[in-house]
Amino acid sequence: MRAVKIAVLQLALIMLIVLPARALDVEVANFRLANGMEVVVIPNNRAPVVTHMMWYRVGSADEVSGKSGLAHFLEHLMFKGTSKRAPGEFDRLIDINGGEGNAFTTRDYTAYFQRIASDRLELMMELEADRMQNLVLTDENVLPELDVVREERRERTDNDPSALLGEQIDAAMYTAHPYGKPVIGWMSEVAKLTRDDALAFYRAHYTPANAVLVVAGDVTPEQVKLLAEKYYGVLKNSFTPEPRVRTPEPEPIAARRVTLIDPRAASPVVQRSYLAPSYAASAGREALALDLLADILGSGTQSRLYKSLVIDQKLAAYTAAWYSGDQLDSGTFGVYGAPNPGTDVGEVEAAIDAVLADLLKNGVTQQELDRVRKQAIAERVYALDNQAALARMAGVALTTGLSARSIFDRDVEIEKVTLDDIRAAAAKIIVLKRSVTGILLPEPQTPN
């Protein structure tokens, strides 16, 4: 991400996956331009505002080995000017037109967006189409921006022990697949990225057929189509995108543990991730079952972890569970516990294990399933209040192997999830050898 205004990347990944649920009452137009660019329009006329997003089907998992952080670095450099626009002009034009913009990079996609008065949509398209093909980079721009990215890494990762723990868990999780690299990159590799690296990556991945345009807000599909054809439809592809095949992750065979001892950590934490399928890489209702299972385990005060660890046993102050399923190749299922002051983190881990063992032995109840299902569906209705969130849902879907419609229609499927679906998903995924357990300790503890 380009600036600090948006939440931490790791968290964003976790948050984004939420919103499981119901056939949203959302009008979605989805079509392709002649050059292969996919377009999604989500009309919403509550305010004279539009969200314009350009998504590229490229992320950190598409970087070659040794160049970690390159997808994200290029994201920063996309604001540095083109053969038509001087450096700084892009941002200035957004500003003086009353817009706000930014960009973000994940493992599977890179996205650029502006929110602006709806009558300025045409200008956004002109600017975005220009930088899709005409980027100009000079060392004068590139070198300070590399320093900015290194500051970003210090601020968000190196200054923060819990972020470092997350990075270590990911690195241990994947033995072969590139999801093990941090999106922002390892500092040692980021420091060596160059202008030529960025331009080569740009030429290899930025082309209309590898892009998805999402426009939400006070527009009609017809208007968007007309403008999109005028600005994006005329662009020629510089290459034909190939299927995104990454090194497959072998079936996990050994449970892994990472322990980060960091005097800067104020209090300990235990966090465990299990390798799981993603929505795109799963069959049937497995991914939905994992989403609901995560809610049953860790969402809210009625969840199993909270009831057992926080209310009954008084071991933990906070607990959580999540399923990150919006990725192309695989996802993760995770659990988390923050001990109460004075409680050993090992006791918290044991209590989490006991909750999981009970779940695997006895399954969940119909009442639990109905509760989280109902809430998940309501959450989707709340999402209707936010055009930018709807645009984001569509973009994530289309860059992680799903269709826009499927993500808005998820609640039709969610109604069908059964206790057996949950039991099968839990039995398959909550298996220690699929997991990495991460422990954050403020100071060394003498092993028992």
Partner 1 sequence: MRLLLFRIIVAGFTLAISFTAAYAVEIKEVTSPGGIKAWLVENDSIPLIAMNFSFEGGSTSDPAGKEGTAHFLTGMMDEGAGDLDGAAFQALRDELAVRINFDSGMDKFQGSLQTLSRNRAQAFDLLKKVLTAPHFENTAMERVRRQFLVSAINDEQEPESLASRAWMELAFGSQLYARKSSGTPQSLAAITADDLSAMHKLLFSRKGLKVAVVGDIDAASLALALDDIFGGLPATEPPKPVSAITVAKGPLVKVIDRDIPQSIIVFGHEGILRNDPAFIPAYIMSEILGGSGYASRLTREIREKRGLTYGIGFGLSPMDHAGLNVGSLGTRNEKAGEALAIVKETLKKMADEGPTQAELDDIKTYLTGSYALRFDTNNKIAGQLLGIQEENLGIDYINKRNSLVEAITLDQVKAQARRLIDSEHLIVTVVGKPEGLKSTGTGG
Q: Scanning residues 207 to 266, which ones bind partner 1 (CB under 8 A)?
A: 217, 263-266
Question: For the stretch 401-440, what's the b/e string if a residue is b when 16 or more beta carbons lie within 10 angstroms of its beta carbon?
Answer: bbebeebbbbbebbeebeeebbbebbeebbeeebbbbbbb
* Spatial contact of 326 and 279, defined as CB atoms under 8 Å apart: yes
Please name every residue paired with 336 in a beta bridge, in sequence order, or none if there are none. Answer: 271, 320
Question: Which region, judged by CB under 8 A, interacts with partner 1, from 90-98, 207-215, 232-240, 344-352?
Answer: 90-98
Complex with partner 1: residue 389 or 431, whichever CB lies closer: 389
How far is 204 from 240, CA to CA, in rounded Å? 10
Q: Which stretch binds partner 1 (CB under 8 A): 39-47, 165-173, 200-208, 327-335?
A: 39-47
Residue in 214, 310, 359, 426 binding partner 1, rule: CB under 8 A = 310
Is 348 a residue that touches partner 1 (CB under 8 A)? no
Contacts to partner 1 from residues 174-193, by CB under 8 A: none
CB of residue 47 to partner 1, shortest distance in Å: 4
Residue 281 backbone class (left: φ over 0; alpha: ψ -120 to 50; beta: rest): alpha
**Number of shown-chain residues binding partner 1 (CB under 8 A):** 72
Site for partner 1 contains 382 (CB under 8 A):
yes
Residues 145-174 that bind partner 1 (CB under 8 A): 145-152, 154-156, 158-159
Distances from the Cα of 444 to the Cα of 259, 260, 376, angstroms:
10, 9, 41
- What HEC string does 365-421 produce? CHHHHHHHHHHHHHHHHHHCCCHHHHHHHHHHHHHCCCCHHHHHCHHHHHCCCCHHH
116 binds partner 1 (CB under 8 A): yes
C-alpha to C-alpha distance for 154 and 159, rounded to whole angstroms: 6
Stretch of residues binding partner 1 (CB under 8 A), selected from 206-214, 294-302, 403-411, 412-420: 294-302
* Minimum distance of partner 1 from residue 321's CB (angstroms): 16
Judge contact between 326 and 398, C-beta under 8 A.
no
Residue 135's DSSP bridge partners are 82
Is 75 labeled as catalytic in the residue annotation? yes
237, 340, 403, 445: residue in contact with partner 1 (rule CB under 8 A):
340
Write down the least CB distance from residue 441 to partner 1, Å: 13
Q: Which is nearer to partner 1, 105 or 282 (CB)?
A: 105
Nearer to partner 1, 370 or 420 (CB): 370
Cβ at position 114, least distance to partner 1 in Å:
10
How do 211-217 and 49-56 pair as beta strands? antiparallel
**Which 386-445 residues touch partner 1, going by CB under 8 A?**
386-387
CB of 350 vs partner 1, minimal distance in Å: 19
Query: Please, what is the minimum distance in Å from the beta carbon of residue 239 to partner 1?
Result: 30
Give the x/- contact pattern for partner 1 in 121-140, rule: CB under 8 A: -xx--x--------------
* Member of 27, 95, 196, 358 binding partner 1 (CB under 8 A): 95
Strands, E, within 46-109: which ranges? 49-56, 100-105
Asked if 335 and 434 count as a contact pair (C-beta separation under 8 A), the reply is no
- Contact at 8 Å (CB) between 39 and 33? yes
Q: Distance of CA 321 to CAs 149, 318, 372, 419, Å?
A: 31, 11, 13, 19
Figure out which of the listed residues 15, 27, 31, 100 binds partner 1, where binding follows CB under 8 A.
Answer: 100
Task: Pick the stretch among 27-35, 311-319, 352-360, 403-411 that binds partner 1 (CB under 8 A).
Answer: 311-319
CA atoms within 13 A on the CB side of 251: 3
In the complex, what is the shortest distance from the CB of residue 319 to partner 1, in angstroms, rounded to a whole number? 11
Question: Given the complex with partner 1, which of 17 and 310 has the nearer CB atom?
Answer: 310
To the nearest 10°, report the CA torsion of 84, 88, 91, 95: -110
Q: Which two tokens stand for residue 183?
A: 């999106």
| Residue 155 main-chain phi, psi, to 5 deg | -65, -45
Q: Which of 27, 38, 63, 75 is catalytic?
A: 75
What is the rounded distance in angstroms from the CA atom of residue 47 to the CA atom of residue 209? Answer: 31
Site mask for partner 1 (CB under 8 A), range 41-80, x = bound: ----xxxxx-----------------------------x-
The residues annotated as belonging to the active site are 75
